[in-house]
Structure 1
Amino acid sequence: MHHPNVLEVRGLQVELHIGKETVPLLKPLDLTLGKGQVLGLVGESGSGKSMTCHAILRLLNLQNMRVEGSVRLNGRELSALRAEDMRRVRGKDIGFIMQNPMNAFTPVYTIGSQFIETLRTHSKISKSQAKEQAVAALADMNLPDPGRIMKCYPHQLSGGMLQRVMIAISMCLQPSLLIADEPTTALDVVNQLQVLRELERLRREKGTSILLISHDLGVICQLADEVAVMKKGEVVEQAGVHELFDRPQHEYTRMLLQARLRARKDA
């Protein structure tokens, strides 16, 4: 059965329990993402953006946290899955690119060995096939000398390069959904543009849907079709990207837009 929406989030909420007290961290949230669509989730730090993506990925430490609501990927309810099934979903069906790409790699293994291992975990291919795919994917990212990059250790590459290695892995695995959590925050403008361009190519060539999380509306507006604005754990406004920029409804959205215009004037 083909499902029209890749991601459907309904009533997702996170509460923290401290003794008898309940602190709502994420108010009930609804998000829908169609195939090949980019949804931008924007808000200042602490607004609940990262918590939303960790809740979708089921990566929250649950001891005194309660997560409720429904998260469906291609019609399949994720909150009901066993932990090991969810782990499989996290690599193959949902890709994840984080703000500090160093955390995604093991420091003591080369980029090549980690790339090959990841591909072979998720598809039945030989080591040499995986190596071929990895080198081709790195070359497609316009990374210089892919053969040399395969032999490098993570600390030998810049943040922008590591981000593009992560996108190259997604190009090979072709997840239906990619969650990019502040992927350009630590990068200079040139690297930001390159990473955004490669994310756009992933959407165009593989039909991947992208949940792009950023505090920067400028980044969001380059890639997103639709934008959800978060403040203090809730979505205060959601609209198409042009509508949001031309006719923001919520004062908080207007404030974010003005802050961005000021930043551009100062630059």
Structure 2
Amino acid sequence: MDKQHFVLQAKDVNISVNSTHGRLPLVHDLHLSLKPGKVLGLVGESGSGKTITCMALLQLLNPKTTQISGSIQLNGRELNGLKPKEMRNVLGKEIGYIMQNPMNAFTPVYTIGSQFVETIRAHTPLTKKQAIELAVSSMAAMDLQEPDKLMRMYPFQLSGGMLQRVMIAISMCLRPSVLIADEPTTALDVTSQMQVLSELDRLRKECGTSILLISHDLGVISALADDVAVMQKGRIVEKADVFQLFDQPQHPYTKKLLQARPVLPMEYEREKLVI
């Protein structure tokens, strides 16, 4: 398939880190392709290399301690080895990023509004007033109540679920072509999880954004992903569309992941339905 059919494409990517015993390989021969308007799920147990892969795609790893070889292309443009200043222009505008812990995404001493507006103005010629209007409307679109009031609040005054939705609003307000979501529902209650997933799905449909969804939660992946890549010990061991992967897993590791899912007995499910 031609390059233009993929929004984000990683080819032959290897990641290694310096250690006292020499160079330590973390990710091996990574191949990932993200189609326009689709969700690619990247699954695997903790420590399998999902987050380090995400950081490499975003060029957020320290080049003094970490080496990334191979090709990482966004809409045909090579990102690997891009200078930090050039990469800063890409991040936020062309690639949105949702961190694993929403509290880490915000500076605690500045209000939500000031951080939101700063992000918008760094990538657009909008005035401060226009940026505030865009921030308020973006939060309202995420079903956040009283966005004007939220703009004046500090991160610690918001719950984890609210912060996560603010972060999605910031990530999506500039309509990036790619959104990388690293464990976006971790540490959220079930209601907040469903809200976040439904908002991600809505934004994908409305904006045509491609999403790389990183998770160890197979329920989250089955709810949102079109295609799935399974990672084990820094390698992609299986790739398939979501239905094929869940119905006919090929790799032994994928089968183990699926068997490890908590499943309710059918009798218990029926009893719940009756109640």
For the criterion TM > 0.5, the same-fold answer is yes
Q: Which amino acid aligns with 2:232?
A: K
Matched, 1:136 2:137: yes
User: Aligned partners of 2:188 and 2:93: how far apart in 1?
Assistant: 26
Q: Which amino acid aligns with 1:107?
A: P
Deviation at 1:21, TM superposition (A): 3.5
Structure 1: gaps spanning 5 or more residues: none
User: Aligned partners of 1:201 and 1:167: how far apart in 2?
Assistant: 12
Deviation at 1:19, TM superposition (A): 5.3
Aligned to 1:175: 176
1:248 aligns to what SS in structure 2? coil
User: Aligned partners of 1:20 and 1:143: how far apart in 2?
Assistant: 49
Aligned to 2:259: 258
Deviation at 1:3, TM superposition (A): 2.8
User: Aligned partners of 2:132 and 2:24: how far apart in 1?
Assistant: 48
CA contact (8 A) 1:99 1:186 kept: no
1:170 aligns to what SS in structure 2? helix
Deviation at 1:4, TM superposition (A): 2.4
After superposition, where does 1:1-267 map in structure 2 within 5 Å? 3-18=4-19, 21-262=22-263, 264=264
User: Aligned partners of 1:186 and 1:52: how far apart in 2?
Assistant: 21
User: Aligned partners of 1:165 and 1:7: how far apart in 2?
Assistant: 25
The TM-score, its normalising length taken from structure 1, stands at 0.95
In the TM superposition, what whole-angstrom CA distance separates every residue of 1:121-177 from its partner, at most 9, and x where no partner exists?
Answer: 111111111111111111111111111111110000011111111111123111111
Structure 2: gaps spanning 5 or more residues: 270-275
Deviation at 1:44, TM superposition (A): 0.5
Q: Which amino acid aligns with 1:31?
A: L
In the TM superposition, what whole-angstrom CA distance separates every residue of 1:56-103 from its partner, at most 9, and x where no partner exists?
Answer: 111112333221010000000001421110111112111110111111
**Aligned residues with identical type, % of pairs:** 61
CA contact (8 A) 1:39 1:212 kept: yes
Equivalenced residues, count? 265
In terms of mean alpha carbon deviation, does 167-176 or 220-229 score higher?
167-176
Q: Which amino acid aligns with 1:195?
A: V
User: Aligned partners of 1:139 and 1:66: how far apart in 2?
Assistant: 41
In terms of mean alpha carbon deviation, does 219-228 or 139-148 score higher?
139-148
1:3 aligns to what SS in structure 2? helix
Q: Which amino acid aligns with 2:254?
A: T
The TM-score, its normalising length taken from structure 2, stands at 0.92
In the TM superposition, what whole-angstrom CA distance separates every residue of 1:166-210 from its partner, at most 9, and x where no partner exists?
Answer: 111123111111110001011011000000011111111111110
User: Aligned partners of 1:206 and 1:159: how far apart in 2?
Assistant: 25
In terms of mean alpha carbon deviation, does 82-91 or 185-194 score higher?
82-91
Deviation at 1:261, TM superposition (A): 3.7
Aligned to 2:272: none
In the TM superposition, what whole-angstrom CA distance separates every residue of 1:220-257 from its partner, at most 9, and x where no partner exists?
Answer: 11110000000100011000000000000011111111
CA contact (8 A) 2:96 2:172 kept: no
Aligned-pair Cα RMSD in Å: 1.6
